[in-house]
Structure 1
Amino acid sequence: MTDGPRETMLRRLRAYRAKQFQKAVTGALYEAADKVRAEASRSITAGSVSGKKHVPSAPGQPPSNDTGTLRSNIEISQPTRDSARVTSFAPYSGVHEFGSSRHPQRPFMRPARDKVAPLARTLLILKIRKAMRKF
């Protein structure tokens, strides 16, 4: 048994809504990840001096920018439509973030994530509401 014109139209409308909803979620996740990346970069460069006058940051504080490698290696990826990932590819980013037996923690990604988390939730809600208003 085939669908009538009304059922066909409703099925297409539902598929369109699902695509628009997914597009809104994907966009909100990427935007939130970009805000985490920006906050992590900002925390690294805030108040830092590079070159001969470089002074390491205090333990527990974000690392101070010296060469710019740490800041420039923070990237965003979206492995799936339902997720976004902010990663630092600098070889020493793990030592800064989690510390080691010789180096104290100087986290920069987790504090950025924690600071942006409430905004990310709000952003997701607003994008979904905006997508729903189109119908």
Structure 2
Amino acid sequence: MVKTTGSGSYLRRIRQGGAEIVKRVGAVVFGAADDVRSDAQISLTTGATSGANHTPSAPGTPPNQDSGTLGNSIQALRLPPLRAQVIADAPYAAIQEYGGIINHPGGTAYFIGEDGMATFVGNDDPRAASLPRTRPHEIVLPARPYLRPALEKNRDQINSDITKAVNSAMKAMKNGAG
């Protein structure tokens, strides 16, 4: 979360300045959130390959886009009057950002290919009935943050832009302009 020092007194003064000043500063706040959204989406696609050649990213780096679901779920939301939020609402957004453990119940059919790698088979595949099944196990997913790095990349610019907008609004209020 980005916070501006002394924001409580600024907020009171801006709100006293009227709807036009609140609207101007609010637009800058939303613009900053949209920049974070854009950079998070870019981080997912940089160097990513979809489909059969998809390779997961290294732990600690943004996930490599495969289907586009995660990137398309990232949104910048305007929260009137002077707040904004960046969210990702794909079902796996949080576990990619923070990492976690999945307790898999097992029972997935698989076979070992010529390359020595396991290939998992869905229950609707006719081969599934004759294949061995996985046992219950934990799947540890390391964090692959994409939102927090985007925020950090933009933090100084956000603080600068909001400070300029607030100072401009304060000056306009002092001069009697709205």
TM range (shorter): 0.7 to 0.9
Partner of 1:88: 88
Q: Deviations over 1:70-125 (max 9, x none)?
A: 00000121233121010001000111000013100000001111111111111112
Partner of 2:145: 107
Aligned residue type for 2:93 = S
- Tell me which structure has the larger Cα radius of gyration: 2
CA distance in 2: counterparts of 1:31 and 1:15, whole angstroms: 19
Q: Could you list the runs of 5+ residues in structure 2 that have no partner in the other structure? A: 1-13, 102-139
CA distance in 2: counterparts of 1:16 and 1:58, whole angstroms: 49
CA distance in 1: counterparts of 2:72 and 2:15, whole angstroms: 40
Q: Secondary structure at the match of 1:35?
A: helix
Q: Secondary structure at the match of 1:128?
A: helix
CA contact (8 A) 1:24 1:128 kept: no
CA contact (8 A) 2:15 2:22 kept: no
Matched, 1:24 2:24: yes
Partner of 1:70: 70
Please tell me the root mean square deviation across aligned C-alpha atoms, in Å: 1.9
Stretches of 4+ aligned residues off by more than 6 angstroms: none
CA distance in 1: counterparts of 2:152 and 2:51, whole angstroms: 30
Q: How many percent identity over aligned positions?
A: 34
User: How many equivalent pairs are there?
Assistant: 122
CA distance in 1: counterparts of 2:147 and 2:171, whole angstroms: 35
Alignment TM-score, normalising by the size of structure 2: 0.63
1:36 is displaced (CA, Å) by 0.3
Q: Could you list the runs of 5+ residues in structure 1 that have no partner in the other structure? A: 1-13
Matched, 1:123 2:161: yes
Alignment TM-score, normalising by the size of structure 1: 0.82
